Amino acid sequence: MLTNAIPTLHEADPTQPRQTLPQFRNEPFLNFKASETKAAMHEALRYVEHELGHEYPLILGGERVHANGKLPSTNPAQPQQTVGVHQEAEPSHVEQAVAAADKAFQFWSRVPVATRVQLLLDVADLLRERKLEFCAWLTYEVGKNWQESDADVAETIDFLEFYAREALRLDGAVTPIQLPGESNTLRYLPLGVGAVIPPWNFPLAIMAGMTMAAVVTGNTVVLKPSVDALTIAARFYMLLEEAGMPEGVVNLCQGSGDLAGATLVAHPKVRFIAFTGSKRVGLIVHEAAAKAQPGRPFIKRTILEMGGKDAIIVDADADMDAAIEGVAASAFGFNGQKCSACSRVIVDAHLYDTFCDRLVERVQDIQVGDPVQNFAAGPVISKAAYDRVLAYIALGRGEGRLLTGGEAIATESGGYYVQPTIFADVPSDARIAQEEIFGPVLAVIRSSGLEESLRIANSTEYGLTGAIYSNSREHLDRAREEFHVGNLYLNRKCTGAMVGAHPFGGFNMSGTDSKAGGADYLLLFTQAKSIAERLAVGTGESNQMRQPQGV
């Protein structure tokens, strides 16, 4: 597949004009109300159900490797159901993975950009063909309902298509000035071997986005997926192999964060780390990467996204219906298990009581159940998450007034279900208003007006997403300037960033503001090399005398 791609994207002769891809368009979402789509999704779920429980190896330089320790992945809606059995990598396996990636880098970094681009396009095509199958894997392994699964797969396709086009754009970069008597060029070179450590909550989109951004820019990768989403990563790797990816370009190294992850982050040949996860782990990664090591003649780069404590402001003149729907969707979509989820709503005192009453009515309509059956809300991801969320709910009973929810939901399956929960009258400095819970818990905070609303919104250590509902142009404009987040939304929910339109990444302890899905993202995986060639003698002599003698 790859060898045939080069002439379609980039002529062998670099002096010839570059061909371009069609304009990027976001992948359309599926309509599960359509009978044929609904039937096809049921068929995909049946297929995946028969595929559950298989064992998957480490894949290191193309070699299938089994370890002594095993990591089972289970269905959070039915914890007794094994989705896949995976290997627990040891430090020796990490060493083998890095060595394989380092070896592959020697040729992959020199492969024409057009060839690397075609790999992403081929993977996108394969993923479109199997969209419902991957939706079903997401439903079984991480508990996403059909719509949330479809959004995850669609975003993955968007990342592949968008980064393919961005790689071509970078490959054609020119300097803003061409000096007389010189040929001035700018090349974006790959960094080398990278560690990609993705989360479980967008186990396809974020995992594939970080991995393939690195790959299309000429790097090689050791991929250590989350222990809660190992099967989806293994299935995506199978797609890469089918598309023709050479051995060693991506190395699948399942394992725990404490062992495999820590070993990978500290490895002296790993030049960059792309990480999405908790603030606690992200800071550990950042600190470890910053330490100089013998035999490491480079500064290790980190590309970090570390969560949020996101707020929606409901102004005094807000459209109440739109605000209630936006808050409910942002707070309880995928059970609040999004770094962009609304976990605080700051409501003007003039409509506070009415807003609380109507929000409770809306949230109590959310049906909780097995995502295989496409309930609006499913389980949280694991027993650890279940215990953590219930502990915060217990804390919230002392910090606010419980409006709805507040309990675990017992089921015959033993799934990790928690009621969508709202606390009102929460002080802005309460723990449930400051700490990331990552579950279906919302704190409602009363505000005396926009000034206080903005102060409260900016009062946490995070700065990822935020939204404001207001019909005042003056207030919206103030929010543009003063609401300190990486992704701000006006009169819409604070989740659902779209590739290309909403480059995603946050301020402060939310990470390095990496802006995934934006025009700057691929730069993070490259190093720029400026090349100036003096032309034939005599063509630029007079100009040379006028050049500044700087660095």
Instruction: Quickly count: other Cβ atoms within 10 Å of residue 79's Cβ.
Output: 16
**Amino acid in position 368:** V
> Residue 370 and residue 372: Cα distance in Å, rounded?
5
Contact 208, 277 (CB under 8 A): no
DSSP lists the bridge partners of residue 191 as none
Q: Number of C-alpha atoms within 13 angstroms, CB side, residue 346?
A: 28
| Phi-psi domain of 196 (left: phi exceeds 0; alpha: psi -120 through 50; beta: other) | beta
| Strand pairing class (310-314; 465-469) | parallel
CA distance 170 to 435: 39
Most distant CA atoms of the chain, gap in Å: 86
CA distances from 402 to 247, 336, 392, 394, 539 (A): 54, 17, 12, 10, 79
- Exactly one of 135, 166, 182, 339 is catalytic; which is it? 339
How many DSSP H helices and E strands does the chain contain? 16, 23
Both structure tokens of 380 = 């949280």
Tokens for 169, please give them: 């754009």
| Residue 445 β-bridge partners | 346
Instruction: Classify 78 as helix, strand or coil.
Output: strand
Phi, psi of 542, rounded to the nearest 5 degrees: -70, -35
Q: Which of 305, 342, 356, 436 is catalytic?
A: 305
Determine whether 166 is an active site residue.
no
Contact criterion met (CB below 8 Å) for 330 and 493: yes
Residue pointed to by tokens 């989350």: 226
Phi, psi of 312 (to 5 degrees): -115, 130
**DSSP secondary structure, 140-156, as one string:** HHH---HHHHHHHHHHH
Rounded to an integer, what distance in angstroms lies between the CA atom of residue 353 and that of residue 65? 60
Strands 342-348 and 441-447, by their bridges, are parallel
360 within 8 A of 404, measured Cβ to Cβ: yes
| Catalytic site includes residue 435 | no
Q: Looking up tokens 């063909």, which residue turns up?
A: 129
Q: 330 near 494, Cβ under 8 Å? A: yes
Regarding beta strands 270-276 and 193-197, do their DSSP bridges make them parallel or antiparallel, or are they unpaired? parallel
Q: What gap in Å lies between CA 160 and CA 171, rounded to an integer? A: 17
Q: Where are the alpha helices (DSSP H) in 333-382?
A: 352-364
Of 299, 235, 264, 243, residue with least CA distance to 100: 264
In single-letter form, the type of residue at position 406 comes to G
Catalytic residues: 305, 339
